[in-house]
Structure 1
Amino acid sequence: MNSWADLWSALTGIGTLALAIATFCVIRQGQQQRKDVERQHRDRLKPICCLTPYNNVDPWAGRGELIKSIDPSPEAPSFGRIVINCMLQNIGTGPALKLKLRFRFLDMNGWMTEPWELSALGAGAFYGSPTDPLVIPIRLHEKFNITDFQSITGKPWEIWLDYEDVFGKKFQTAHYKMLFNPDPATFEWTTPPPGQEPKAIMRPIPWLSYIEDGERA
């Protein structure tokens, strides 16, 4: 009698364990499905902001001509202005919120200007045109004086856009004046004929890179 009771208890325990495992698997599957749905929903509302030259062509050696400086006026002596000869477009599928623009200068150890806030940019919307260009104020101070400002077009600059989607996820788009990466670690090397030394080839830098939550996309 006891043997039947023990067997029944054992079978009941196995059944309970199997049910618990099955329930756990169903819950995990449901959680994964919800995550997939949420990710798909976020992707359908993802902003992608970029600066596009008016003729839609990367000017390559003429990237430095995409900006020009305007000296401070007597009415606002602490602010210079930078004209960006590009459209600021949101080519993504969702609005870009908390949109900010900054300049980064490689000859100043990567120092960045204060972020300048722009209005939210809806999907497919843009700022700036040849007749109404995008103009960004730059505050002058002890770390970035009038001399620095007046030489801005000759500096190795970068333009950074920071923004968020409606879920608070952060994005960045960086735009580069430099044409080639001078870091030797990135060089490619030719395979020379016998008796000759290999030659280093610097990699070209694209006009922009898109970074999503700190990871280059």
Structure 2
Amino acid sequence: MVSAVTDPSVLHDTKAAYDAVAPLYAELFGNMLETLPLERALLAAFAELVQAHNAGPVADIGCGPGQVTAHLHALGLNTFGIDLSAEMIALARRAHPGLRFDEGSMTALDLADEMLGGILAFFSTIHTPPRQLPTVFTEFGRVLAPGGYLLLGFLAGDDPLPREVDHKVTLAYQWSPGSLAELLRQAGFAEVGRLRREPHEAERFHSGYLLVRKHQEP
């Protein structure tokens, strides 16, 4: 899934990198959830919570070729995808013609305030420079309704400071779950739960997941 960032040069480089690998990415990861039972369970829990709150549609931000967007739709959510890469959006539209996919940056979403019941950001913030991540979380909070849920996937590490890692597509950052949870708290989110998964055989990094909820008005 493709991140969107505030620095124009980083944004351009990230977009270009994912545009270049979009067909291969879709081929390699189009069926990835079939081998990820923990992720499927997390997505099912996320869908159940959003449906129970009944606060609006769900945006898959950094949707890539749309496979997870389609999975959330199959779970009963009113879901649409957003991605920085035009090539990824084109692939998603061809693969899932019944769903909505839009180009866009997660730092300036073309969405109304508090219109979403949920946000999925499945490894879509990993290329965002650490100093700019609070801007992304603030924008997530703007478009998410009070009480809405955010499920964030990221590259998990132990260092309390974010660490640069050599991602196969472009530069990425590894975060400790606690450090990300604190940034989300400062952006107005309350933690619901977290998970850290060991890397599979073909993976180089631990996978981390944080499920948070936007504070509701008293």
TM-score class normalised by the smaller sequence: under 0.3
TM-score (norm 2): 0.25
TM-score normalised by L of structure 1 = 0.25
Higher helix share: 2
Give the greater-gyration-radius structure (CA).
1
